[in-house]
Structure 1
């Protein structure tokens, strides 16, 4: 029995973690407890030494000293300030008026604003809740199909997962040991393509089922001509300036992601001041939520560090490597299995948990197979988006359910009785967008240039033409060593040659 346990400690450790998670234990504590328990068992069996655990304090302090993780509270704070200062409401109202005359105009507005919010907030919860509160009642008022309306709101909110400055991209870059700026640059084009696929789905729906996405009636379009133009300019310019301030400075190398996040947080405060929405209540709520999310991330990271230390000590990384490298199909087989694994686990785990538990196991294998880790990280980020949209555990669906009407109500403007939005309608509305996200995963695999096009690879170098020349010195022409004259240096060279 002892021999069996010793030989199979790594798979048993991983199985125990899955069991703890399915039983509902908090992820951070399940990771840490699992690592400590199996560490003690390993020391009892003589597989590990007590000195292994002495590395834990230094690793925990290493997490605290990690400058990259500072970007998470900065971007979270920026997103919360912008969301609660009314920027989303202004954007949705203005873009809704702009696209109102065409079928599906409100849905296009939600997608476009979702992309803008993703590029300024980076927080899925803020995007989904704000758009659900503002746009869902309007879409129901003018006869939108409930499944289309709920699906497009939830899916557009998840664009904050892949469009920079995404929080999960920061974590993926940290776990894969790559630059956050490169991860942002690689994810930009796939994020924009995914936005376009959402819009294409609405366009197809407007042709096949025009009654599901009606245009705004004339009486609902209150802005026209120059008034609409001025409103669009004054509403769009501030967030676009903030996007350039944050992402532009990161992409051109002026600022690090942490510095960009700090500038973004300062810019969000200035925008809230300009709108006269900044107050102590808003600041307190934003700082409270930022502290909670940052603590959540750090605790999971500490737990995953404890688990990872023991897991590698019992050769768990080699166990995973042998499982995955031996797959048929080489790189393609590995990518297919990885994406199926992430897709299935996303039913039960959110993106932070996937990033801290699964990615450290897959990253080294991908590197050994010659897969670019920036491309691999973006691919996993696109796949992890589905964790927000999976019925029945998708967090975006939970966020939308919390703000969608649960009972029939009378609309204040039209006086009509509006039926409630059921949980089943929210779930079925999410299915087409999950399929679109999987199509995007396939596109990234089939066309790696979607990611590579955003990266600066530097000047091309032909290794076949590289020459390294080592000069040979004559006895009377040897260069002097530092601090010595030519004569003394030549004497040394002659003595060396005589020996």
Structure 2
């Protein structure tokens, strides 16, 4: 369920997809809200069902760890929930209310995180340096991936590879459905070996124009790809979520401090097999988004016009009914004869003399 961050705003995956598809990040966020909630509900149903059928798979906390009850527990929950909810509002609330752009919302979120760390007295120079180093590394990775993917795309387009792919995908049997089936299967298989950055920067620019040509809403298409790309975090051999779990799960038997009992280790195989149901749920969610596109498009505000479709027309010569005769600005001074020039000078001198005479008469 940790991969929900890839489909629920403020998702970095949706930002990258919106950029590659040429759509608004706010619209992409709005379209992803309901699919994210439905996916959360599916996870919840699965967890409840699994715990009811196999109670030992998710045992309750030992009595030694359940000391808070009643009002104290409620206060503790509120104190834990309010700061992250406020942080979420700083990012999403400001974007949806129109107070900030996605970039500004991200900056406000970073500022809010610094304020929370300062309030909790956990803001230190070492922590700040670590955060800045991690941000710089991640940004550098993304920039280099972007540079490499751009070079690949330019080379691919230079040999008309994009036209070949477009012709191949538009010629698939089944029209839109055939295209969506092939694209989702391809994305699912590539996600075994590629991160979502590589998929977004290399594959999406090739698929977006084809989807647009087939009449597929690109916001809906982007959310669909985002749901599919979640699987790249969950299945081997490069599932990042699996490695994160491996790093925090005990690799050997240890003594629990609360109960004083020996706890068995969690193996890598158990983590892999435990992720399979969630991958299946994500695949089911892909089918739900395809079957019920209103989950995405129903929450996106439609504008009255598409700026990308604005065209300008310049009338041709045959359509221009104005007088085409060039205006006569007179003969240039260099082309005048000496007699004409002298006559003009005498007329100017006479006008000046008349002006002086009239001035003295007044």
Unaligned runs of 5+ in 1: 1-155, 461-492
1:348 aligns with 2:197: no
Q: How many residues align?
A: 310
3-state SS in 2 of match to 1:276: coil
Q: Paired residue for 2:105, among 247, 260, 263?
A: 260
1:233 aligns with 2:78: yes
1:297 aligns with 2:142: yes
Shift of the alpha carbon at 1:220? 2.3
1:157 aligns with 2:41: no
Deviation per residue, 1:405-448 (Å, 9 max, x gap): 11111112212111111111011001000000001111110111
Q: Paired residue for 1:375, among 220, 238, 241?
A: 220
Structure exhibiting the larger radius of gyration computed from Cα positions:
2
State whether residues 176 and 359 of structure 1, in contact with CA within 8 Å, keep that contact through their aligned partners in structure 2: yes
Distance 2:152 2:89 in 1: 39
Distance 2:303 2:211 in 1: 23
Distance 1:370 1:270 in 2: 46
> In structure 2, what is the equivalent of residue 402 of structure 1?
247
1:440 aligns with 2:285: yes
Shift of the alpha carbon at 1:349? 0.7
State whether residues 176 and 363 of structure 1, in contact with CA within 8 Å, keep that contact through their aligned partners in structure 2: yes
Shift of the alpha carbon at 1:170? 1.1
Shift of the alpha carbon at 1:219? 3.5
State whether residues 250 and 266 of structure 2, in contact with CA within 8 Å, keep that contact through their aligned partners in structure 1: yes
> In structure 1, what is the equivalent of residue 294 of structure 2?
449
State whether residues 142 and 197 of structure 2, in contact with CA within 8 Å, keep that contact through their aligned partners in structure 1: yes
Q: Paired residue for 1:306, among 151, 155, 158?
A: 151
Return the TM-score normalized by structure 1.
0.60
3-state SS in 2 of match to 1:392: coil
1:213 aligns with 2:58: yes
1:192 aligns with 2:37: yes
Distance 2:270 2:104 in 1: 42
State whether residues 383 and 437 of structure 1, in contact with CA within 8 Å, keep that contact through their aligned partners in structure 2: yes
Distance 1:280 1:299 in 2: 28
Distance 2:60 2:322 in 1: 92
> In structure 1, what is the equivalent of residue 91 of structure 2?
246
Shift of the alpha carbon at 1:458? 4.0
State whether residues 392 and 427 of structure 1, in contact with CA within 8 Å, keep that contact through their aligned partners in structure 2: no
Deviation per residue, 1:291-339 (Å, 9 max, x gap): 0011000101011111111211111110100110011110011001000
Alignment RMSD: 1.8
Distance 2:2 2:170 in 1: 36
> In structure 2, what is the equivalent of residue 416 of structure 1?
261
Deviation per residue, 1:181-218 (Å, 9 max, x gap): 11111112111211111111011112211222233344
State whether residues 193 and 237 of structure 2, in contact with CA within 8 Å, keep that contact through their aligned partners in structure 1: no
Distance 1:315 1:348 in 2: 26
1:222 aligns with 2:63: no
3-state SS in 2 of match to 1:385: helix
Shift of the alpha carbon at 1:379? 0.3
Shift of the alpha carbon at 1:459? 6.2
State whether residues 189 and 450 of structure 1, in contact with CA within 8 Å, keep that contact through their aligned partners in structure 2: yes
Deviation per residue, 1:275-294 (Å, 9 max, x gap): 11101011011110110011
1:278 aligns with 2:123: yes
Q: 1:328 to 1:263 in 2, by over 3 A?
A: same
1:329 aligns with 2:174: yes
Shift of the alpha carbon at 1:351? 0.8
Shift of the alpha carbon at 1:224? 1.1
State whether residues 205 and 212 of structure 1, in contact with CA within 8 Å, keep that contact through their aligned partners in structure 2: yes
Shift of the alpha carbon at 1:234? 1.8
Shift of the alpha carbon at 1:395? 1.2
State whether residues 64 and 259 of structure 2, in contact with CA within 8 Å, keep that contact through their aligned partners in structure 1: no
Deviation per residue, 1:232-267 (Å, 9 max, x gap): 222211211221121011112221100101111111
Shift of the alpha carbon at 1:177? 0.8
